[in-house]
Amino acid sequence: MDMYEQRLEEFLLRLAKVHAPVVLESWPTLRTEPNALGLLARKLADFNILIITGEIIPTSQYVAEDTPRHLETWVKAYGEIYKAFVGAVFPNYDPNITGHYTDSQWPVIIYLRGAITPVIQMMADYIVPYVAVRQTEHSILPFELVGLADTIVAALEGEDLNLKARTQLQNSCVKHLNILLNSPIRQYPLMPGAPDLFINRDDSPKQPTRVEPALLKPESSDAKLKNNLRIFISYRKTNRNRVDDITQVLTSMGHTVNFDQDILQGQHWWDVIIEQIQKADLIIAMISPGYLQSQPCHLEYMYATALNKRILPVEIEPVNYRQIPVELQKIQMVDFERQDNDAIGRLTTALSVLPSSVPLPKVMPVIPEAPIPEISKLRDEVINLTLQIGPDRQRLIAMRLYEMMRGQNADDAKLARELLASMLKRPDITFSTGRTIENWLSIE
């Protein structure tokens, strides 16, 4: 028995003596079993004590001063998973959980205490051993994490959860499991896991062993990219609520999502959007009838196409497919009209089979001009009394404003009428154009 195992045994027995004296009675027999310390830790879970242990893995980006932050994030992620299950399955009970350090030595040994025994037991049977085994793998799909959450819900007899509660629970589990799986704290295998956790797998937890950093395989850039995409969402303003929905799903998968919510007051909004598109690994186009009519959306996906960006069209409202731009018709759309488990599954699958990224073109395309509404540009001309507008240009402006006044957009129609009236006050207005405008305004 090495120093770590001796230290772990002393600590577990000390916990048992204080919180679960009955466990001590079986220890003389239990200690002869393979993985005796893991079995002892599992018995403590029956008394609301969850044991986690691990060691930080130095990398080229490792900074010793960050260790306390990494530990806090690691422990907090377990706490959030516990709270998610308690809140969903036992909503009338206290979801608080506390974390305690054994000492200041490494590998670190921490125990968490929560009041809801079934949840602590399920975390000991599923979450802790799952993270320990799967942490070094780089191809874990959200499907698998959602399935793990659903397995625990079934074990807790929470199958009657409504769709909203189940989705929130799944999203929380996926988010915090990803934090644990990608943590620089390499968790040690300890507890054996539930019998159905590693069905058809040959990697169930074994006796705790120290993880040597040299044995860890470096993560490829492609794996990192698929696990944590930088996503820009192109959408029509009227569909903002659906953007919030899909953003929650994507961030729970570990992706970084940008759209115009990140633009600060005072920034040139179009410059920020152009920069976000340039830096994105993927552009998601939120397809709806309004999207297909939007000039800003058209410019966004056309610029993304010119940059060789991967684009994923996501249908959020029924559309006439013949009206979809040809470049987007070439890509299989994701049906996301209803946000349910099936829709999330379709989105997850689409993200997992994305084509490889392509470098930016050697000759960068021309950045499109900011899509300022035409009526705003006309307004600047009309109210600028220092600008001399010739007769031909007056007629063109008046005709375009008249068309807008007669159009379907109520806001544009109102402003167009006001601008036609303003044109009559210009000192350079010609008699014929002025008379035409007066006739138009008198008709309405």
* Contact partners, residue 193, CB within 8 Å, separation at least 6: 125, 126, 129, 130, 133, 204, 205
Span 322-333, average pLDDT: 85
Structure token pair of residue 192: 């054996």
- What DSSP string runs through 304-337? HHHTT-EEEEEE-S---GGGS-HHHHTSPPEE-S
Would you say residue 211 has pLDDT above 60? no
Spatial distance between the Cα atoms of 57 and 185, rounded to a whole number of angstroms = 6
Domains recognised in the chain with CATH numbers = 3-209 (no CATH), 222-352 (3.40.50.10140), 374-443 (no CATH)
Our CA dihedral for 254, 202, 156, 121, rounded to 10 degrees, sits at -90
Give the pLDDT of residue 223.
40
Confidence band for 44, pLDDT divided at 50, 70 and 90: very high
Would you say residue 220 has pLDDT above 80? no
Structure token pair of residue 6: 């001796």
Omega cis (within 30) before 361: no
Confidence band for 216, pLDDT divided at 50, 70 and 90: very low
Structure token pair of residue 338: 């209803």
Give the pLDDT of residue 266.
53
Give the pLDDT of residue 210.
38
Give the pLDDT of residue 262.
59
Confidence band for 199, pLDDT divided at 50, 70 and 90: very low
Percent of the chain scoring above 70 in pLDDT = 89
Confidence band for 163, pLDDT divided at 50, 70 and 90: confident
Q: Which among 194, 189, 195, 193 is positioned nearest to 207, based on CA atoms?
A: 189
